[in-house]
Structure 1
């Protein structure tokens, strides 16, 4: 009898997508007062950290215009989780405080995304 090893479902994600997802995650961590490490845990997270992570996923979805599958993959999760996150965040936007915070985070993330890329390794006078 043959034995099969079940591997977790993983989709290759570009380094750029991971960096952009990290930016959204860390902005949400700061705004909601939740350590990013709590949001990145693979085991079940506390509700506050979970909601902050969902907010970060929604932030990536609306700020970058990513489809839900790409959001899920960039955060190391699946499309269904990204969909749940975005539905929850969209419902929360009915609350003025949450909506105001998300508007600010969207503007901040878009502004950072529009900055020109700088290669720090090729700058003259850089320490070696």
Structure 2
């Protein structure tokens, strides 16, 4: 008898969405003192890393104005997981310290995302 092993849920995501999701993830990692590698683990992770990842998803949702489905896809998860993460983060904003950190991260991520794109090959004077 052959065993059936379902392939993981995969949705095509643009490179730009992945880059933006990575920016949110790494900013959250820095702010909460959690290595990004812990936040990216597919197996069960520590609560602190899980909450930092949820914060990153919420950060992408509010900073970029992404719908929850897009957030989930950009982070390699489904919409329900993104929804749970954003609901937790929104509730956590009742804590003044967390709220202040998230305000700063939102401002920083928006500022970074509004910077002009630069082609480094051209900026450095050709192909180096």
**1:76 equivalent in alignment to 2:76:** yes
Once the two structures are TM-superposed, the CA of residue 125 in structure 1 deviates from its matched residue by 3.6
The alignment yields a C-alpha RMSD, in angstroms, of 1.6
Match of 1:39 in 2: 39
**1:17-64 deviation per Cα after TM superposition (whole angstroms, max 9, x unaligned):** 000000000000000000000000010010000000000000000000
C-alpha contact (below 8 Å) 2:25/2:53 kept by paired residues: yes
CA 1:91–1:122 in structure 2 vs 1: closer, same or farther (change >3 Å)? same
CA 1:20–1:5 in structure 2 vs 1: closer, same or farther (change >3 Å)? same
TM-score (structure 1 length as normaliser) = 0.94
**In 2, Cα distance between equivalents of 1:113 and 1:20:** 8
Stretches (4+) displaced over 6 A: none
Within-5 A mapping of 1:91-110:
91-110=91-110
**1:56 equivalent in alignment to 2:94:** no
Once the two structures are TM-superposed, the CA of residue 123 in structure 1 deviates from its matched residue by 1.9
Once the two structures are TM-superposed, the CA of residue 9 in structure 1 deviates from its matched residue by 1.5
Once the two structures are TM-superposed, the CA of residue 3 in structure 1 deviates from its matched residue by 7.7
Gaps of 5+ in 2: none
CA 1:127–1:12 in structure 2 vs 1: closer, same or farther (change >3 Å)? closer
Gaps of 5+ in 1: none
TM-score (structure 2 length as normaliser) = 0.94
